[in-house]
Amino acid sequence: MKATLKLDFDVIVVGAGLTGFAAAIGASKLGMKTLLVESTGVIGGLAVNGLVNPFMKYDYAGEDLIQGVFSELIERLKKVGDYVGRAFNYEALKYHLVNLLKENRVNILLYTQIIDLQIVEKKIQKIIGSAAGQRLEIRGKQFIDCTGDAALGKLAELTLLIGDEQSRQNQAVTQIFVLDNVQLNKTMEYVQQHPDDFFSWVSPQQKDIAISVAGFFKLVEQAIEDGMDLPRDHFFFIQLPEKTSVTVNTGHISITDANSPLAVSAAQLTGLEQTHQLTAFAQKYLPGFEDCCLRQSAAQIGIRESARIKGKYIFQQSDVTDFNKFPDAVVKAIYGVDIHQNQDEPSVKEVVLNYTDYYEIPARALIAAELDNLLMAGRNLSADFGGQSAVRIMPTCCGTGQGAGVIAALAALTGRKPADITAAEFQAELKKQGANL
Residue closer to ligand FAD (CB basis): 234 or 392: 392
Cα atoms in the Cβ-side hemisphere of radius 13 Å centred on 424: 0
Residue closer to ligand FAD (CB basis): 17 or 241: 17
Residue closer to ligand FAD (CB basis): 287 or 397: 397
Q: 235 vs 118, 223, 243, 372, 434, CA distance in Å?
A: 47, 12, 19, 46, 39
Distance CA 109, CA 112 (A): 7
Least Å from the CB of residue 290 to ligand FAD: 26
Count of helices and strands (H, E) across the chain? 11, 22
Least Å from the CB of residue 197 to ligand FAD: 22
Q: 43 vs 48, 175, 261, 272, CA distance in Å?
A: 8, 19, 22, 23
The helix/strand/coil state of 192 is helix
Residue closer to ligand FAD (CB basis): 285 or 317: 317
Q: Is 244 exposed, middle or buried (0-12, 13-18, 19+ CB in 10 A)?
A: middle
Residue closer to ligand FAD (CB basis): 292 or 393: 393
Site residues, ligand FAD (CB under 6 A): 14-20, 37-40, 45-47, 50, 52, 54-56, 113-114, 146-149, 151, 174, 176, 249, 302-304, 378-379, 392-394, 397
Least Å from the CB of residue 18 to ligand FAD: 5
Identify the CA nearest to 162 among candidates 8, 303, 312. 303
Other CB atoms closer than 10 Å to residue 180's CB: what's the count? 15
* Pairing state between β 63-64 and 59-60: antiparallel
* Pairing state between β 134-145 and 293-297: unpaired
Residue closer to ligand FAD (CB basis): 256 or 422: 256
Least Å from the CB of residue 56 to ligand FAD: 4
Least Å from the CB of residue 395 to ligand FAD: 6
Least Å from the CB of residue 149 to ligand FAD: 6
Residue closer to ligand FAD (CB basis): 130 or 324: 130
Least Å from the CB of residue 299 to ligand FAD: 10
Distance CA 150, CA 153 (A): 5
Least Å from the CB of residue 5 to ligand FAD: 15
Residue closer to ligand FAD (CB basis): 149 or 287: 149
Contacts of 252 (CB under 8 A, 6+ apart): 172, 174, 231, 232, 274, 340, 347
* Pairing state between β 113-120 and 123-131: antiparallel
Residue type for position 379: R
